[in-house]
Amino acid sequence: MNKRTLFILSVALCCVAALMPARPAEAQRGNRQTITATMVGIGGRRAGVTLPFRLVINNYTSPAEVSTLTSAMQGGEDDLLRALDRLDAGRISIGNNVGVTANAVIPTQLAEGGTKLTVLYRRAVNIFELRYGTRSSDYRFGYAEVFLDQRGRGEGTLIPAARVRLRDGNTWEVEDFGVFPARLMGVRSSGNVPAR
């Protein structure tokens, strides 16, 4: 590669970097919540399989955004996917990969003093599923529930392939593609989520 090519490449990279949106100041200072756990498969092909689980939360989903998602469910899963794609609450990864966008992270305060986090995201449907039209390709969402106590420890469940629909006008109904949801064991939380 000659000097001219290197210069053009470096100028192109500088232009791309200048056009990228700046991250919020809170995220730049590392003000985010990270949840780690071990995912344990309970049934089906992944019975007994353990994988690392990581959820990085940059911000919680607001009540207005939750209302938008609930309204979108009335139009079906395609409308829900469109509404979900406009949200970005963080990143979720299962196994040793970069993961996908955690579109919605909804906190709920529990009566006993802890917090329940409901996570909804568009899962990555792989090429095999699309090419052969497998039944799992109809399960386009991922869903998790994480229960944290006041010390930031707890447990949870994960549905890596799910269908989501609205029931009775305001209740989210989640259908698991697998036999049983995976368990999230040894859940630990660190850091804080930036205030909206």
Nearest Cα to Cα of residue 59 among 38, 85, 33, 79: 33
Torsion sign over Cα 99, 41, 179, 171: negative
Region of residue 56 (phi > 0: left; psi between -120 and 50: alpha; otherwise: beta): beta
Residue 1 has pLDDT above 70, yes or no: no
Domain span at residue 41?
A: 31-191
Q: Among 14-23, 159-168, 184-193, name the most confident range.
A: 184-193
What does the alpha-carbon distance between residue 76 and residue 80 come to, in Å, rounded to a whole number?
Answer: 6
In a domain, 55, yes or no: yes
For 60-93, the pLDDT digits (tens) are 999 999 999 999 999 888 899 999 999 999 999 9
For 6-44, the pLDDT digits (tens) are 333 333 333 333 333 333 333 334 579 999 999 998 876
What amino acid is encoded at 71 in this protein?
Answer: S
pLDDT at 94: 92
In a domain, 70, yes or no: yes
Nearest Cα to Cα of residue 194 among 25, 29, 30, 31: 31
CB atoms within 10 A of CB 173: 11
Q: Tell me what the mean pLDDT of segment 120-147 comes to.
A: 73
In a domain, 15, yes or no: no
Say which residues have a Cβ less than 8 Å from residue 82's Cβ, sequence separation at least 6. 72
In a domain, 17, yes or no: no
In a domain, 25, yes or no: no
For 87-112, the pLDDT digits (tens) are 999 999 999 888 999 999 999 999 88
**Among residues of the chain, what percentage have pLDDT more than 90?**
48
In a domain, 99, yes or no: yes
pLDDT, the chain, mean: 79
Nearest Cα to Cα of residue 192 among 121, 115, 138: 115
In a domain, 7, yes or no: no
Residue 166 has pLDDT above 70, yes or no: yes
Task: Tally the domains of the chain.
Answer: 1
- Taking the alpha carbons at both ends of the chain, their separation in whole angstroms is 47
pLDDT at 161: 85
Burial grade of 74 (CB within 10 A; 0-12, 13-18, 19 or more): exposed
In a domain, 41, yes or no: yes
